[in-house]
Amino acid sequence: MATAAARQAMSRPSLLRIIPRPRQQQQLISLRFSSSSSATSSSPPKTPEYAIPDPSRPTHFGYETVTEAEKRKRVAGVFTSVAESYDRMNDLMSFGWHRIWKDHFVSTLNPGFSPLSGSSPSGPQHILDIAGGTGDIAFRMLHHAHVVNANPSVRVTISDINRAMLSVGKARATTDLPASQQEALSFVEANAENLSQTRPLQPILSETEQTFFDPATATSGIPDASVDLYTVAFGIRNFSNIPAALREAHRVLKPGGVFACLEFSKADKWTSIFESLYKEWSFRAIPLIGQLVAGDRDSYQYLVESIERFPSQEEFRDMIVDAGFVVAGKGYEDLTGGVAAIHRGMKPRK
């Protein structure tokens, strides 16, 4: 049986071959996090060719086929263009639902709480929020850890390829977060597909400069096994090479660390009437609202198309397993009948 990643690779001219998922990983799909997984290994399977970024490999940008390098450039253009209006547009596009999904995502991850310390949460934790944009997830993580779980030793790194989005986030943090939470937050420019090249957020000095991260300017990197919780919300569908990003997530997580992704997904059959109404609305109204509110129709057209192109819950779960993670049960939780979904995977301890 071809995995999602293999199916993706098969559609690419340079990779016309099926890459079977190792038997050991197939067995892991139904293991629970708490069950003993002594047969597992924390090192991912040998990196397949499709998980190594290749600037000339075809991928998709909305409904168009472009190279990985071209997609990176165009996605950067989209988010540079929407950065200032992003938060307002999010509310308009989802009727505010994104807030409910994000609250649920964060509360189920329960940052700051350690089940090993009984009822009193404790201990330092490092959370890496990838494609963190203007900070919605990172701010919720900090609030939950520091206030709900009374654990001030949790710190969050918010990372994004786009300096314009991070800059809006930094300005928001300054006005919205108490000083103690601001101190526990750092902003880092990086491409999720290669986290060994990063640099701290730089100020934007002129309107015309490139605002997406150039790896040639990297000054640091995220070390192996240094992160307890890796989160990515509504970001991964924009990546040029998703398997590469999943492998990087596996590399930077500590054994026992958790990968968690919130993303638009495929609605189930019970929600299909609602979904077709939503689809009709999103394809007709969102680009128009984008034009009226943000003066940018094309970027919002891309955002709705990219939602359509993202793999199904099962296909994405298989990609997570292919990257070396163990998933519990079916590996994902549908939200609002599958309009969005949360996927989780754990890096095995051994």
Please, how many CA atoms are within 13 Å of residue 193, restricted to the half-sphere of its CB? 21
Pinpoint the alpha helices (H) of 83-202: 86-94, 97-109, 136-143, 163-176, 179-183
Q: Show the binding pattern over residues 192-211: x = contacts ligand SAM (CB under 6 A), - = does not.
A: xx------------------
Per the annotation, does 271 bind a ligand? no
Q: At its nearest, how many Å lie between ligand SAM and the CB of residue 193?
A: 6
Q: Nearest Cα to 241, choosing from 66, 21, 23, 1?
A: 66
Q: At its nearest, how many Å lie between ligand SAM and the CB of residue 222?
A: 12
Q: At its nearest, how many Å lie between ligand SAM and the CB of residue 159?
A: 7
Judged by CB under 6 A, the chain residues 247 through 276 that form the site for ligand SAM are none
Residue in 15, 161, 249, 346 binding ligand SAM, rule: CB under 6 A? 161
Q: At its nearest, how many Å lie between ligand SAM and the CB of residue 239?
A: 5
Cβ closest to ligand SAM, residue 193 vs residue 228: 193
Q: At its nearest, how many Å lie between ligand SAM and the CB of residue 136?
A: 4
Neighbours of 339 (CB within 10 A): 20
Per the annotation, does 160 bind a ligand? yes
Q: Is 136 in the site for ligand SAM (CB under 6 A)?
A: yes
Asked whether 53 and 244 are in contact (CB, 8 A), the reply is: yes
Cβ closest to ligand SAM, residue 136 vs residue 322: 136
Per the annotation, does 294 bind a ligand? no
Cβ closest to ligand SAM, residue 3 vs residue 94: 94
- Name the pairing type of β-strands 154-160 and 185-191: parallel
Pinpoint the alpha helices (H) of 68-135: 68-82, 86-94, 97-109
* 276/135 Cα distance (integer angstroms): 30
Neighbours of 118 (CB within 10 A): 8
Per the annotation, does 191 bind a ligand? yes
Pinpoint the alpha helices (H) of the chain: 4-10, 23-28, 68-82, 86-94, 97-109, 136-143, 163-176, 179-183, 242-252, 272-289, 297-309, 313-322
Q: Is 89 in the site for ligand SAM (CB under 6 A)?
A: no
Q: Which region, judged by CB under 6 A, interacts with ligand SAM, from 154-162, 253-261, 318-326, 341-349?
A: 154-162
Longest dimension (CA), the chain: 56
Nearest residue to ligand SAM, by Cβ distance, number only: 133
Judged by CB under 6 A, the chain residues 67 through 86 that form the site for ligand SAM are 75, 79
Distances (CA, A) of 272 to 63, 71, 316: 22, 30, 20
Site of interaction with ligand SAM (CB under 6 A): 75, 79, 130-133, 136-137, 160-162, 165, 191-193, 233-235, 238-239
> Which residues are annotated binding-site positions for S-adenosyl-L-methionine?
134, 160, 191-192
